[in-house]
A and B are shown apart, each in its own frame.
Chain A
Amino acid sequence: MHISDGVLSFSVVAAGWAITLVLSALILWRCKYKYDMAEQIPKISIITGTFFVASLIHISIGPTSVHLLLNGLMGVVLGVFAFPAMLVGLTLQAFLFQHGGITTIGANNVIIGIPALISYWTFRFGYRKGINVAFMGALCGALGILLSGIFLAFILISTGEEFREVAYAALIAHLPVMVIEGIITGSVVSFLLKVRPELLPVDTEV
């Protein structure tokens, strides 16, 4: 899902950075008043660390090689903080693992981070409706990957790729990742709700 340097045109790269930086700043600015940041930061750091190393776990099923993303998990556990936290994780991945490009961190953050936010809102909605938490977690874990594949295909249209072809290939390749992340997210969420329910950002309005 990570786009490398030199694939995207300048305007797409610039738009990616603009969306990423503005949205991150907006989220941090709003949450400064809503949350006790000193309480949030340790949790954000742990999940960011998990996200950072998760991309090293490769799953080689079928022709292509894919790795875990954990953006759904990030969204469900961190809420809106998933987006700025991802900027840190993606930057470290780009510089230390050469995953994705350095100029494309902005675009990658949009591809991976916005699905994380959508996963979060979906999870919160399902939680408030009283739907089984493990099921909602699994659904949102898989949803993060699904939406990322669609976003990736959308962004690659600008390079002249066929939307349906890329989306199809990305989604087929990521099917095993969706299953694995669904299981991970579902079990993490049900575990957290049993042990420390206050860690899940389900009662806040952001």
Chain B
Amino acid sequence: MDHLKLTRILVLLGMVLMLLMPGVSAHRVYVQEQITEVEIKAWFGGGDPMPNADVSVYAIKNGEEELYIEDRTDSNGLFYFTPKLGVSEYRVVVSESGHKSEKTFNLAGGSAAETENAELPLSASVVAGFGYIIGIAGLALYFSSRKSKGQ
């Protein structure tokens, strides 16, 4: 009987020690992703890059904008910058003698306000444009014919 009791105590002791062990031997570990470079691409409608255009990067923190970097795109219309530590939201403005576009984005992944509208396919735009022109011509012809009838 004593022998059995001793085994029980030893097993219990072992279980308690095993429970305590992880708490003693492990350190807490932190993992966080860090984006070290952001690529900005600027191009004209039709796909040609916008080289040597002015780029202004504004860092947005707690809703307040602050000019972070001002530079120019390279010959391929690309521009790279290192994000400011702790700031994940940026507004980038690219302009080149009269052409200007901007984009607000969040590196943390949350979808920021989209500044670009979804474009119609080009062929659809062309057909739509001709449709408008024919429509306007039709209206104008209607009014001019009504006027000449009235005379």
Assess whether A58 is in contact with B97, with CB atoms less than 8 Å apart: no
A contact residues around B141 at 8 Å (CB):
38, 41
A97 to B47 CA separation, bound complex (whole angstroms)? 13
Binary interface encoding of chain B residues 112-151 relative to chain A, with 1 for a CB under 8 A from any of its CBs, else 0: 0000010110100110111011101100110011001000
Assess whether B136 is in contact with A63, with CB atoms less than 8 Å apart: no
Binary interface encoding of chain A residues 87-102 relative to chain B, with 1 for a CB under 8 A from any of its CBs, else 0: 0100011001111000
A contact residues around B44 at 8 Å (CB):
58, 65
Assess whether A170 is in contact with B45, with CB atoms less than 8 Å apart: no
A contact residues around B46 at 8 Å (CB):
56, 58, 65, 67
A14 at the interface (CB under 8 A from B): no
Binary interface encoding of chain B residues 91-107 relative to chain A, with 1 for a CB under 8 A from any of its CBs, else 0: 00001011111100000
Residues of B within 8 A of A (CB): 44-46, 48-52, 75, 95, 97-102, 117, 119-120, 122, 125-126, 128-130, 132-134, 136-137, 140-141, 144-145, 148
Given A38-B141, A64-B51, residue A53 in contact with residue B95 (CB < 8 A): no
A170 to B148 CA separation, bound complex (whole angstroms)? 46
* Interface majority SS (helix, strand, loop, mixed), chain A: helix
Given A7-B95, A53-B126, A169-B97, residue A60 in contact with residue B48 (CB < 8 A): yes
The chain B residue sitting closest to A166, CB to CB, is B97
A150 at the interface (CB under 8 A from B): no
A contact residues around B49 at 8 Å (CB):
65
Given A64-B51, A92-B129, residue A152 in contact with residue B98 (CB < 8 A): yes
A60 to B56 CA separation, bound complex (whole angstroms)? 26
A38 to B97 CA separation, bound complex (whole angstroms)? 40
The chain A residue sitting closest to B43, CB to CB, is A65
A2 at the interface (CB under 8 A from B): yes
From A17-25, A42-50, A138-146, A198-206, the one touching the partner chain is A42-50
Shortest 4 CB-CB contacts between residues of A and residues of B: A65-B48, A45-B137, A96-B125, A37-B144
A contact residues around B132 at 8 Å (CB):
88, 92
Assess whether B140 is in contact with A63, with CB atoms less than 8 Å apart: no
Least Cβ–Cβ distance between A10 and chain B, in angstroms: 15
A6 at the interface (CB under 8 A from B): yes
Assess whether A63 is in contact with B75, with CB atoms less than 8 Å apart: yes
B contact residues around A170 at 8 Å (CB):
97
Assess whether B98 is in contact with A2, with CB atoms less than 8 Å apart: yes
Least Cβ–Cβ distance between A82 and chain B, in angstroms: 15
Assess whether B122 is in contact with A42, with CB atoms less than 8 Å apart: no
Least Cβ–Cβ distance between B41 and chain A, in angstroms: 14
A65 to B50 CA separation, bound complex (whole angstroms)? 8
A-B contact pairs, 6 of them (CB 8 A): A5-B100, A6-B100, A41-B140, A41-B144, A53-B129, A92-B132
A contact residues around B136 at 8 Å (CB):
45, 88
